[in-house]
Amino acid sequence: MRRSLRRVVLGVCAVALATAAVLGYVGRGDAAGTNICPGSVCLVTVVSPHVTSAVPDAGFAAFAAGRFNNNSPSTATHLKLTISFTDGAATAAKVQTGTIGTFVDGSPVAATCTTLDSSVSCSFPNLAGGHFAKVQFPFTPVAPTPLTDGSTVKATLGAAYGEGNGGANDTQSASDVLTIAGSSARGKCTAGASSLASVSNSSLTSSIGVDYPAATTGQNLPCTAVGIGVSETQVTVGGVAGFVASLELPLVNGFATVQHDVTPLPAKTTVKGLVIWESLQPVGTTNFDLKVPACDPAGLPPIPATPGFSSDTCVYSRSSLPKGGGRFIMHALGASIDPRYTP
């Protein structure tokens, strides 16, 4: 799977449940003139979910992770990876020391980690060329105060190391951004299975909610990060206007159950005939080019996947609602955070 934020569009009150790759939001820092990592291309930073509740009802708001890929033949000596959180110049997040995970080549390793205010720093042994090191942990924002709709917290990964080929010490950085959800979005990162209560746009024409199992253990994620939201901006797909609903979901054990309500249905459509479209593009785009198929008898997307149809989301049931609305129950398998990132 190569995506983790799907969106699906239904119509004038429609939903889009398609996703954009989580790393589509990653920013790249400037290099410090290094041989091992020119242009900071070896650094990856991610937060998930990208939109979360200011005060989650369980677990943490999100997790942050940073990875340093040594793609050169040289050794990166006395490597230190630091993830810091800021809102402007303010301390912005709370981290529990016991939740920090450190990895080399996807396997857990012992590393010396310290927390200071709103940052975590972990020192690794020398990292030979062709290997990667990673630090990750769940966190909860504490600033800005108060945490208001649309507030953002930037997570920045900094890498400091020496070059085993005799080069100078180098420092680089890359960042990703977490947004605090308003009334039309919700998110959190829990130790296991959980749910997110339904959220709606301001016109109450489109809503989405989800129940989900835990993320698969093979991804080595610190918690199961899930986010949902409904856009206030209307888009037109296939000649039908609607509002996009989004789900950010890691690859889970089994499938998540998504409830999407649309009231009223778009003109000249029916509950039975309405086509649900999925997009693999980042949030904000309107390139919905995959139809969401009906689930097979096991409640899963048909295998093998048919070209032009979603392979990780299917429609399990359709039913009518009062005032000309429709309810669409979908099953979503989730997706790896990113094949370049996940061990």
* Per-residue pLDDT tens over the stretch 283-331: 666 678 899 999 999 999 999 888 999 999 999 999 999 999 999 999 9
Asked if residue 337 is part of any domain, the answer here is no
Both 144 and 231 in a single domain? Answer: no
Asked if residue 338 is part of any domain, the answer here is no
Q: Pick from 11, 3, 9: which is nearest to 287 by CA?
A: 9
Both 213 and 148 in a single domain? Answer: no
- Mean per-residue pLDDT, 70-83: 89
Both 147 and 265 in a single domain? Answer: no
Both 221 and 291 in a single domain? Answer: yes
* Per-residue pLDDT tens over the stretch 102-130: 999 989 999 999 988 788 999 998 899 89
Q: How many helices (H) and strands (E) does the chain have?
A: 0, 25
Both 109 and 34 in a single domain? Answer: yes
Radius of gyration of the chain (CA): 21
Sign of the alpha-carbon dihedral angle for 294, 297, 299, 302: negative
Both 303 and 314 in a single domain? Answer: yes
For residue 27, pLDDT over 60 is answered with no
Asked if residue 341 is part of any domain, the answer here is no
Are 82 and 95 contacting, i.e. CB atoms less than 8 angstroms apart? no
Asked if residue 339 is part of any domain, the answer here is no
The domain containing residue 186 runs over which residues? 5-21+182-332
**Looking at residue 234, what is its pLDDT?**
84
Both 228 and 193 in a single domain? Answer: yes
Six-digit token string for 312 = 């990780």
Asked if residue 52 is part of any domain, the answer here is yes
Cα–Cα distance measured from residue 106 to residue 58, given in angstroms and rounded to the nearest whole number = 27
* 8-state DSSP, 250: B
* 8-state DSSP, 31: -
Q: Does residue 27 sit in helix, strand or coil? A: strand
Buried b / exposed e over 155-172, threshold 16 CB at 10 Å, is bbbbbbbbbbeebeebeb
The structure tokens 């109450």 sit at 204
**Looking at residue 267, what is its pLDDT?**
82
Both 11 and 91 in a single domain? Answer: no
Give strand ranges (E) for 49-169.
51-52, 62-70, 76-87, 90-91, 93-94, 101-104, 107-108, 112-116, 119-123, 131-141, 152-163
pLDDT band at 14 (very low <50, low <70, confident <90, very high): very low
* Per-residue pLDDT tens over the stretch 127-149: 998 999 999 999 888 765 666 66
Asked if residue 9 is part of any domain, the answer here is yes
Asked if residue 65 is part of any domain, the answer here is yes
**Structural domains of the chain, count:** 2
Q: Pick from 87, 83, 70, 75: which is nearest to 158 by CA?
A: 83
**Where does a domain end: 180, 209, 227?**
180
Both 31 and 176 in a single domain? Answer: yes
**Where does a domain end: 122, 157, 180?**
180
- Mean per-residue pLDDT, 186-199: 95
Is there a cis peptide before residue 266, judged by omega within 30 degrees of 0? no
Cα–Cα distance measured from residue 177 to residue 50, given in angstroms and rounded to the nearest whole number = 7
The structure tokens 């040289």 sit at 74
| Through-space distance between the first and last CA atoms of the chain, rounded to whole angstroms | 13
The mean predicted confidence, pLDDT, of the chain is 81
Cβ neighbors of 162 (< 8 A, separation 6 or more) are 76, 77, 78, 168, 169, 170
* 8-state DSSP, 192: S
Give this prediction's pTM. 0.84
Both 27 and 176 in a single domain? Answer: yes
Asked if residue 165 is part of any domain, the answer here is yes
Both 54 and 156 in a single domain? Answer: yes
> In this predicted structure, which of 16-20, 45-49, 213-217, 292-296 has the lowest mean pLDDT?
16-20
Are 172 and 76 contacting, i.e. CB atoms less than 8 angstroms apart? no
Q: Pick from 74, 45, 48: which is nearest to 135 by CA?
A: 45
- Give the CATH number for residue 139: 2.60.40.1290
Q: Which amino acid type is present at position 189?
A: C
For residue 204, pLDDT over 80 is answered with yes
Both 68 and 126 in a single domain? Answer: yes
The structure tokens 């054990």 sit at 253
**Where does a domain end: 150, 165, 180?**
180
* 8-state DSSP, 150: T
Adjacent-strand bridge partners of 210: 196, 258
